[in-house]
Chain A
Amino acid sequence: MIRSANPFATEPRYELITRVLRSNIERGTLPEGLVLLEGPISIAMKTSRVPVQAALRHLLAEGLIHRFEGRGYLVGPAGKAITPLRRDLQEFQLNIPGEVDDALRTRGTWRHVYEQVEEQVASCQIFGEFRIVETELSEYLGVSRTVARDVLARLQERGLIRKSASSHWIAGPLTARTVREKFEMRRIMEPAALRLAAPHIRYAEVEHVLEMMDSGSILTSESLSESLLDLCIAQAPNATLVEMIRSNRLLLSSVSRALTSLGLPNDDETNDQYRTIFDLISRHPIDSAVEYLRDHIEILSRRNLARLKIVAVVQETGAFAPYLIPQ
Chain B
Amino acid sequence: MVPQGQTLASPPRLHSRRLRVRGTSITLLRQVREQAQADLGITVDYELLDFPTCQRRAATEPQGYDVYEQCFHNLDIVWFWGALQPIDINRITEWDNISDLAKQGGISKYAWRGHGDAPVRKLYVQPGGFLGPKPSRYISMLPTVHNMDSFGYDPRVFGFAENVTPSWAWLLDKRAKGRIALVDEPAIGFFDAALAAEAAGELDFADIGNMTIEEINALMALLEDRRRQGYFCGAWRDGDAAAQLVRDGAVAVQSMWSPVYCQLGPQAGTFLEAAPLEGYRAWHGGASLSRHLAGADLDMAYEYLNWWLSGYAGSVMARQGYYIATPERSRAHMTPQEWAYWYDGAAAAQDLTGPAGDWVVRAGAVRAGGSYRDRASRIAIWNTVMDEYNYAARAWERFILRVQSGRAVDEGAA
Q: Once bound together, how far apart are the Cα atoms of A317 and B389, in whole Å?
A: 19
Which of B43-94 touch A at CB < 8 Å?
A: 55-56, 59-60, 76-77, 80-82
Contact A175 B394 (CB under 8 A): no
- Chain A 265-320 interface residues, beta-carbon cutoff 8 Å to B: 265, 269-270, 299, 302-303, 305-313, 315-316
| Pairwise interchain contact A313-B394, C-beta atoms closer than 8 A | no
**B80 touching A307 by the CB < 8 A rule?**
yes
> Would you call A313 and B56 a contact (CB within 8 A)?
yes
Distance in angstroms from A219 CB to nearest chain B CB is: 19
Residue of A nearest to B213 (CB): A175
Does residue A72 face the partner (Cβ distance < 8 Å to B)?
Answer: no
B393: A residues at CB distance < 8 A: 312
| B129 in contact (CB, < 8 A) | yes
User: B388's contact among A177, A263, A264, A269, by CB below 8 Å, is which?
Assistant: A177
* Interface pair B56/A310, CB less than 8 Å apart: no
**List of B residues within 8 angstroms of A269 by Cβ:** 128-129
Bound-complex Cα distance A25 to B77 (A): 43
Contacts of B130 in A (CB 8 A): 302, 306
Question: Within the complex, which residue of A127, A302, A305, A308 is in contact with B394, where a contact is CB–CB below 8 Å?
Answer: A127
How distant is the Cα of A174 from the Cα of B388 in the complex, in angstroms?
A: 9
| A177 CA to B389 CA, complexed, in Å | 11
- Min CB distance, B9 to chain A, in Å? 41
- Which B residues lie within 8 Å of A313 (CB)? 55-56, 59-60, 77, 81
B244 at the interface (CB under 8 A from A): no
- Chain B interface category by residue count: 20 to 34
- The listed residue (B77, B82, B128, B129) touching A312 by CB distance below 8 A is B77
A198 to B390, CA, bound (A): 40
A308 to B77 alpha-carbon distance, docked (Å): 10
Residues from 157 to 214 in B contacting A, C-beta threshold 8 Å? 186, 212-213
A132: Cβ under 8 A from any B Cβ: no
Q: Is B387 an interface residue (CB 8 A)?
A: yes
Say if the beta carbon of B391 comes within 8 Å of chain A.
yes
Query: In the complex, what distance in Å separates the CA atom of A269 from the CA atom of B81?
Result: 13
**Is A212 in contact with chain B by the CB < 8 A criterion?**
no
Q: Decide yes or no: A126 and B388 within 8 Å by CB, A306-B80, A307-B80, A310-B80 being known contacts.
A: no
Instruction: Please give the distance in Å from A107's CB to the nearest CB on chain B.
Output: 37
A173 within 8 A of B: yes
In this assembly, does A44 line the interface, its C-beta being within 8 Å of a C-beta of chain B?
no
* Smallest beta-carbon distance A121→chain B, Å: 17
Out of B56, B82, B128, B389, name the residue touching A309 (CB < 8 Å).
Answer: B389
Q: Show 15 residue pairs from A and B whose CB-CB distance is below 8 angstroms, ordered by the A residue.
A: A174-B390, A176-B390, A176-B391, A177-B387, A180-B387, A265-B82, A269-B128, A307-B80, A308-B387, A310-B81, A312-B385, A312-B390, A312-B394, A313-B60, A316-B394
Name A residues whose Cβ lies closer than 8 Å to a Cβ of B.
Answer: 126-128, 173-177, 180, 263-265, 269-270, 299, 302-303, 305-313, 315-316
List residues of B whose CB falls within 8 A of some A CB. Answer: 55-56, 59-60, 76-77, 80-82, 128-130, 186, 212-213, 385, 387-391, 393-395
Apart from A265-B82, A310-B77, A313-B56, what are 15 other A-B pairs with CB-CB below 8 Å? A128-B394, A174-B390, A175-B391, A176-B387, A177-B388, A180-B387, A264-B81, A265-B81, A269-B128, A307-B80, A309-B387, A310-B80, A311-B390, A313-B55, A313-B59
